[in-house]
Structure 1
């Protein structure tokens, strides 16, 4: 299975963000959304990747974008990881049914039972405008995300901002 390419409508989802709160893609409609699927909370590469995104979160916000991390780990694991890494964006639990959302994006590794290290930038209307899969052991960084957000904002400026 390959990840959904640009031009695909992003599959809708609602996933737990905390033990008592859920977040839907529809909740974020109207602004670009960065979906960062990753294999596991406590793996070294995932920790580095999420820490990098946390560090440059202000750049994502300046582009009008919201960031969410998604893995098959449960909400309590996410809570401990986010607290340890001082993350300031939601981590969503694609825990049960395991990997269902990741599979809809073509980003689930069924044999290993984990998400691919896959990135998606979804535009304000819910269409994927950029996607990328990195090898599991390599932090994909943020350059591709930032370039996709720049292109997206060049073609449709954020509401209330004059071009």
Structure 2
């Protein structure tokens, strides 16, 4: 198990499929905080619960002007069906081909299993990783760590007008 990218590192930009005919780039979110939630697979019980929690907490994330994005190696078609079934109101991106290429850049790919780690990143408005955390694959990390990081990021931005990276376990 490797390390996920640490706070203070520029978040690698990417463009992935949101639907079979639409893409989203990390750069599209520049100017607002982004929450990247890498997860193993759409239809596993833990992942379904994790994405449901983020869907429930979406209004809290939006209070910080933050956009949450789920990322796994599932296809755009699989994501589309999963999002419709679970009534998710945030994008799920397909790190499908080449499989796991974005997850690898973030240190969030499980080579032996062929899936993403359960890893979270809060990226600041300038595209710098502010907070990162890898959860055990069988454990739903919830939203508390993300909300704490968003709160600290907002306070730091208000305090001195610029962001500084910080790390916290979850």
Residue 39 of structure 1 aligns with which residue?
40
| Residue pairs, 1:8-157, within 5 angstroms | 8-157=9-158
Distance 1:31 1:147 in 2: 16
Distance 1:72 1:127 in 2: 23
Distance 1:16 1:156 in 2: 31
TM (norm. structure 2) is 0.91
TM (norm. structure 1) is 0.95
Distance 1:141 1:47 in 2: 12
Structure 1 residue runs without a partner (length 5+): 158-163
Residue 160 of structure 1 aligns with which residue?
none
Distance 1:26 1:62 in 2: 21
- Number of residue pairs matched? 157
Shift of 1:152: 0.5
Shift of 1:107: 0.1
Structure 2 residue runs without a partner (length 5+): 159-170
> Secondary structure of 2:8's match?
coil
Residue 162 of structure 2 aligns with which residue?
none
> Secondary structure of 1:92's match?
strand
Shift of 1:49: 0.2
Distance 1:130 1:14 in 2: 21
Shift of 1:149: 0.2
RMSD: 0.5
Distance 1:14 1:75 in 2: 13
Distance 2:4 2:136 in 1: 13
Q: Which runs of 4+ in 1 moved over 6 A?
A: none
Shift of 1:52: 0.4
